[in-house]
Amino acid sequence: MRPRDRRPSASWGYPSVPQIMNQMIVRHVPAIGGGGELFDWGGTQRYTLEFTRPHSSMDANDRWTAAYPGLEYNVRPGVIGGVYPFRYSLNNAPSGMTIDAATGEITWPNPQTTASNISITVEDTKGTSVTSATWSITVATTRFKFFSPSGDNTTGDGSLGSPWQTLGKFQSSTSTTTIGIFRTGTFITDDCDIVDGRSTRWGTALSRPSIFLAYPGETVVFDHGYVEGVSEGVEFDFVENGGSPRVYLDGLTHTKGHNKTIRSFLNHNFCIRRGIFHDYGPGTGGLNSAAIDWESGGFLSGTSNRDTVQDCEFYNQVYGTGNCALKIYATLKLLIEDCLFRDFDAGSEAAVAYKSGGDQITVRGCRSHDMLTPSYGGNQNNMPTGTCDGEVCFNNFEGPEGSGFSTVIINHDGEVFDQGQLHVYRNTVRGGVTFWFLDSNDGPYTSQQNVFVNDTTNDNPDGSHINHLQAAEDISRLTVIDDLTGVAADGILDANGLLQGAYRTTYLYMRGHEVPS
């Protein structure tokens, strides 16, 4: 990560008339899981608290169900709804398995014996709790094949001690239930089966595997082969028509992609964890270019269900028209959580672009800095008013301001299609916030308990520090509740987006992205 200018403001000041409405009463509630108190920030439930992973229909050959003897087993549940933050606990866990109470990450450092009927309980800030479906873990060597750039496709047998060498070997010589574990080094995607120009396809519909794991603690790079003016990047295409719930990529670095890098078409329970995507060439307009792209049919017709992207990093993106880190079409209960976006060039739609035909999309706990493109955007077009829903919450986004630029921008295309609902709450945003073309077909939208710090010269006259850019036909479609707003000179935030001074004393855990540890 390149050095960043993080010099704090010379001084902070408290505005004589704070731009905050209907200040809420600060309360405490009994701690979740015991031990101290957890701040109740007054939030309300948007959706029912539920697990998107694990769940009762999880495939018997899912990544969660297998561990290699002596090799760390590491997974993280997906949870949406409820009132964040959450507290996690394990039930009937085998010896040595632990869970991070704040994030839900499960670690089993040294699995040796098969374990059964494990479950997770999550409790939200309001005391509502739910327990996941149970799952079992088979500890055996049988489903695993190992790969190393120094391996041998001819004499190797794919075992830990005798790994195969290439991605092409993984694609052609393993079954759909195989879990590939990749060792340190760079794997070239050009040795795979390439179709339709620059696409390589995976998944059970093609009798090919779809679980890729980096060996614990090792750096594994997939080189997608883009060289400007010489070759296009290879797209990893998972086309399952809803039939496979087993697509799972964990711990991999993807570089030198171009238009799409990973494409998901109707994959239920698709998961990407701890991935790094960097140094991508410019995309091509009209191709839905993105590091990760979800595609399917029309509004809620053949959606992808219960997908997760967690703990990923996206940086050094050189984008062309229409490109994004994540482009989202027709997904149900997608969770994007704790991802980092940084060092994006100008010219793309947004790091996260929520497009059309989705419902209950959650973007939570993400961060951004050094951005020349919006961190969150999307036109949410062709969504019947009041039907599709999404929430953007507890994110810490930073971006510059300028003509036509916003850090968060809703309906970025300025289109007149129906727009779905969106709840933007408990975010910290340094930079512009824009809702375009509000009318009776859009939303309703809610902006609640955010911290917005931006230049008031771009501010809409309503004093919300939310810019409408175009004349709003029906401003009532956006409800603003308890936002804390100001300009940089007010000293509301420090250089890392944390509340400081008197603002911290008054509004900590009540405004912006910060939550109790």
The β-bridge relationship of strands 106-108 and 98-99 is antiparallel
**Residue 312 and residue 386 share a domain:** no
CA angle 427, 343, 469 (to 5 degrees): 55
**Phi then psi for 191, rounded to 5 degrees?**
-85, 5
**Residue 319 and residue 410 share a domain:** no
**Residue 279 and residue 312 share a domain:** yes
**Residue 512 and residue 383 share a domain:** yes
Instruction: Tell me the pLDDT of the chain (517 aa) as tens digits.
Output: 222 222 222 222 223 223 333 333 233 333 333 333 445 677 888 889 999 999 888 888 999 999 999 999 999 999 999 999 999 999 999 999 999 999 999 999 999 999 999 999 999 999 999 999 999 999 999 999 999 999 999 999 999 999 999 999 999 988 989 999 999 999 999 899 988 778 888 887 788 899 999 999 999 999 998 887 788 888 898 876 555 558 999 999 999 888 888 988 777 888 999 999 998 766 665 567 888 888 765 444 456 788 999 999 999 876 555 578 998 887 889 999 999 999 887 766 789 988 777 788 899 999 999 988 889 987 666 555 455 678 999 999 998 776 567 899 886 665 555 567 889 999 999 998 988 777 777 778 899 999 999 986 666 667 789 887 665 567 788 899 999 999 999 999 999 999 999 999 999 999 999 998 7
What is the DSSP track for 302-338?
S-EES-EEES-EEEEE---TT-EEEEE-SEES-EEES
Last residue of a domain, one of 139, 172, 191: 139
494 is a domain residue = yes
Q: What was the pLDDT predicted at 109? A: 98
Q: Helix, strand or coil for residue 255?
A: strand
Domain interval for residue 482: 374-517
452 is a domain residue = yes
27 is a domain residue = no
1 is a domain residue = no
DSSP letter (8 states) at residue 63 = G
**Phi then psi for 448, rounded to 5 degrees?**
-140, 130
**Residue 504 and residue 379 share a domain:** yes
**Residue 452 and residue 325 share a domain:** no
Q: What was the pLDDT predicted at 205? A: 77
Q: Helix, strand or coil for residue 82?
A: coil
Q: What was the pLDDT predicted at 277? A: 93
**Residue 378 and residue 280 share a domain:** no
**Residue 464 and residue 430 share a domain:** yes
The CA distance from 164 to 154, in Å, is 8
404 is a domain residue = yes
**Residue 108 and residue 60 share a domain:** yes
CB 491 within 8 A of CB 9: yes
Q: What was the pLDDT predicted at 413? A: 60
**Phi then psi for 504, rounded to 5 degrees?**
-65, -40
508 is a domain residue = yes
What is the tally of structural domains in the chain? 3
Q: What was the pLDDT predicted at 227? A: 84
DSSP letter (8 states) at residue 498 = -
Which CATH number does the domain housing residue 127 bear? 2.60.40.10
Map tokens 């960097």 to a residue. 278
Last residue of a domain, one of 116, 139, 162: 139
**Residue 342 and residue 293 share a domain:** yes
| Burial class of residue 517, CB neighbours in 10 A (0-12, 13-18, 19+) | exposed
The CA distance from 215 to 159, in Å, is 13
Last residue of a domain, one of 84, 104, 139: 139
| Helix ranges, 72-230 (H) | 167-172
411 is a domain residue = yes
**Residue 383 and residue 303 share a domain:** no
**Residue 511 and residue 401 share a domain:** yes
- Confidence (pTM): 0.90
369 is a domain residue = no
